[in-house]
Each structure stands twice: as structure tokens, then as C-alpha cells.
Amino acid sequence: MDNNRNFEKYADLIVNIGLGLHAGDKLNIRMSEHSLPLARLVAKKAFQKGVSDVRLDFSDDTITLDRYLNAPDDAFTSYPEYQVDFSENLFKDNYHVLNLFAPNPDLLKPADPARIAQWQKVAGKAVKRIQHYTMQNEVKWCVTAVACPAWAAAAFPELTEDEAMQKLWDNIFMATRVDQPDPVAAWEEHDLNLKAHRNFLNEARFDRVHYQGPGTDLVVGLAKNHIWEGGSGFSQKGDRFFPNIPTEEVFSMPDADRVDGTLRATMPLSVRGQIVDKFHFTFKDGKVVDYDAEVGKQILDDLLDMDEGAKHLGEIALVADNSPISNTGILFKNTLFDENASCHFALGAAYSENLEGATERTEEENRKLGMNNSLIHVDFMVGSKDVTVTGIKEDGTEIVLLKDGDWQI
């Protein structure tokens, strides 16, 4: 496969479809060393579109881990306010956000979980006041993936580094439709298919959704006046963009107080540079009241302890098990990919685009309507060929939405 040509097509896709960049926009790229070649291509194409500035927000896995291992305790007790001010000024100055995500699923395995939890809480509280810029689509934002040796080794441990990297890039290009002759046209067609499912769900006006499968019997109430979305979205200025590349989901807002039953996760979760596996939750009146994990329970302890909203759901997403990513049979150990192979939920904050009029109300008013609020938003996978998903209307009418891995609508 011609990687150079695919990199060009990938950069085109990010600029034109992912972010819909045009004259007057500015771009902030969050990246690591592995993302630099693609970042350079994206920047070049962004400038050609009339973008006036591209800035790089750089992070490094080695430095991140060394900070947790070696920095003094007081390094984890406060977050510089000026960094939050700077980020907010970028948003106000029409900077949009591209996250070129090159994850190491086990990066923080050697680190002290207490330090990780403390820093996540401190940082989460500090940046909460600017969370609305992306959660409410005040700016355009896109998360997409870049292969790196650590991720390739985690996904394909049986291969050499070079073989694993090539296989990972091949699958990234497949999942993002970059391997097709015209990726932009392929994404336009894909968007129409997602919108067809979205439109059906919005017209059906389900009151709740029932999940049934091995270890799972869960009823998720939907917020009144909820909205299903999928594929492309729009910024508050009216610009079209895709928040995630790849994406196979149609998603909406659960009522944070109307979730009851037990669910079993169907895939491992990679979060905060650590892995959680073989875990389950039990909900009552929307809140997690019991949970366990064979691997990484401490990580769940820390996540659920972030704040009250961390114990409630903020997103419900439907994905066919026969999606292109699922059909690879690969466990990517990267939520951006694995969530698009499976129905999933998110603990934590909800998206305002999933509730009519949300941006016109206060946080407290929206919470009374069932919109969850939290410092976190953590997706985890619950779907498989063995899980049946049924929509239930207020009058009790039931419509099977997903069965044996396929859409039924």
C-alpha cells in the first residue's frame, strides 16, 4: 500500500471533512512526535484553504510517564490558571482543534494510581470552565488517529515492529475510508447512511432503550426532547465538521436518572494510559450502585470518584456489530476505534447537541431535564452479536433496533 499517497488523502480528509476549514479559521493541533509528519501535511493544506495560523500543542509519552514517576508530590496539587486562560483565548480567537491521537494503551501502568487520579481530578476541575467550547460545538473539533510503535505492539503483539506499524496504518486507512479512490465522496455517502438511522430514531421518539445479552439486562431512559445525532455535525456558527474520524455511531442523551439494571462490558477499555477489562456495572435510578472488574478495578474506583456525574451516563450510542471496524476482528485497545465496533455508553458529561434548547439554559436547568454534567466523558463498549437492543415508546410499543449485530430498522 502506498503510504505517502494515503497520507496526502488522509490530510485532505481531515482538512475538508473532519474540520471543514476555510479562510478566517485558525487551527490548534494536539500531537506527539509520532504525529508530526501528518501534522505538517495538514498544516500545509490548511494554509492553502486560507487558515491564517496553525499552532502545535505538543506532548510526549516519555516525559508524561517520567512526571508521574519522578516529580514531587506538589506537582499534582494545582493546575496553572494561566494555561486555562490561554486555551480559552485560543477558542475565542477562532482556533479550532485537531487531536492527532497516537495512544500508548499501557503508558501509565508503572505509575502510582493515586497520583493519576489526583491529577485527573485537579486538571478536570481546572479546565471545566472551557469544556463547553467543544461539548457544545462552539468550535470545530476532530479526533483522529496516528499509528505509533506502542499502539501497534499492543494491537498486534505477534508481529515485528515494522509489520505491526504497517498493519496498523493499513487498518487506520481502511477505517477512515482513506484507502478508497475518493475518501471525501465515501464519507459523504457514509454520512447519508448514518443520517438515515438518525432520522428514523428521531421520528420514533422512543422513551427508553432495552439492552439484553450475556450479563446484560439494562433499561436506559432517554431524556425528554432528546435528539439523536450521527456523522457530521455543525458548529454554532453553522460550519459542518466530523468530531470523530472514524465514526460509525448514532448517539443520543440518556436521562441521567432513568437507567436501571446491569450491563457487562464487551471489550477492554483503554483509559488514562491503563487497561480495564472484564468489568460490569449495576445502575439504579441512573446511578452506578455496584461494579467490578477483573483487571483495573482501581481505575474504575478513581473514575467514579471524580464527581457525582461520573456515576451517571452521559451518552448512549448505537453501532452495528458488522461495522467495518468490527469486521476486522481486531481489538485495537483504542476507544476511538473500538467504540466504532460496538454499541457503547459514556460515563460523565453529555453533549448539548443531544437535547433541544440545551445551549439556551443553565447547567442546573439542563440537569433537571436529565442532562448529565461531569468532569469526565469516558466511553466503554457494551455491544456484540449477542446483544439485542430494543426501542420502547411511551405507550409500550417495542421496535427491535439491533439484533445479531445488524440494524433491524
Read off the pLDDT of residues 388-398 as tens digits, 9 standing for 90 and up: 999 999 999 99
Q: What is the pLDDT of residues 281-320, one digit of tens each?
A: 999 999 999 999 999 999 999 999 999 999 999 999 999 9
For residue 405, pLDDT over 90 is answered with no
H/E segment holding residue 128: none
Contact 26, 95 (CB under 8 A): yes
Q: Is residue 184 part of a domain?
A: no
Q: Is residue 183 part of a domain?
A: no
Q: What is the pLDDT of residues 160-204, one digit of tens each?
A: 999 999 999 999 999 999 999 999 999 999 999 999 999 999 999
Q: Are residues 152 and 210 in the same domain?
A: no
Mean pLDDT of the chain: 96
Provide the β-strand partners of residue 169: none
Q: What is the pLDDT of residues 245-262, one digit of tens each?
A: 999 999 999 999 999 999
Q: What is the pLDDT of residues 120-135, one digit of tens each?
A: 999 999 999 999 999 9
Residues belonging to the chain: 409
Q: Are residues 111 and 62 in the same domain?
A: yes
Q: Are residues 291 and 383 in the same domain?
A: yes
The number of angstroms, rounded, from the C-alpha of 132 to the middle of its chain's C-alpha atoms is 16
Q: Is residue 279 part of a domain?
A: yes
Q: Are residues 224 and 101 in the same domain?
A: no
Note the pLDDT of residue 381.
95
The strand ranges marked E within 72-191 are 95-101, 141-145
For residue 1, pLDDT over 70 is answered with no
Rounded Cα–Cα distance for residues 21 and 35 (Å): 19
Provide the β-strand partners of residue 409: none
112, 146, 175 - which closes a domain: 175
Rounded Cα–Cα distance for residues 244 and 19 (Å): 10
Rounded Cα–Cα distance for residues 10 and 178 (Å): 6
Note the pLDDT of residue 321.
84
Q: Give the number of domains in the chain.
A: 2
Contact 34, 61 (CB under 8 A): no
The CATH number assigned to the domain holding 162 equals 3.40.1830.10
175, 201, 236 - which closes a domain: 175
Q: Is residue 88 part of a domain?
A: yes
Q: Is residue 180 part of a domain?
A: no
Q: Are residues 119 and 200 in the same domain?
A: no
Note the pLDDT of residue 272.
81
Q: Is residue 357 part of a domain?
A: yes
Note the pLDDT of residue 402.
97
The number of angstroms, rounded, from the C-alpha of 302 to the middle of its chain's C-alpha atoms is 19
Q: Are residues 25 and 97 in the same domain?
A: yes
Q: Are residues 297 and 334 in the same domain?
A: yes
Q: Could you write out the DSSP letters of every residue in 324-335?
A: TTGGGT---S-H
Residue of 68, 156, 72 lying closest to 112 (CA atoms): 68
Q: Are residues 264 and 326 in the same domain?
A: yes
Q: Are residues 76 and 206 in the same domain?
A: no
**Which domain, by its residues, includes 64?**
3-175
For residue 2, pLDDT over 80 is answered with no
149, 175, 201 - which closes a domain: 175
Which pLDDT band, with edges at 50, 70 and 90, does 66 fall under? Answer: very high
Contact 296, 279 (CB under 8 A): yes
Q: Is residue 332 part of a domain?
A: yes
Q: Are residues 343 and 370 in the same domain?
A: yes
Q: Is residue 338 part of a domain?
A: yes
**SS3 assignment, position 359:** helix
Q: Are residues 312 and 254 in the same domain?
A: yes
For residue 323, pLDDT over 90 is answered with no
Rounded Cα–Cα distance for residues 333 and 11 (Å): 24
Mean pLDDT of 142-158: 96
Q: Are residues 236 and 113 in the same domain?
A: no
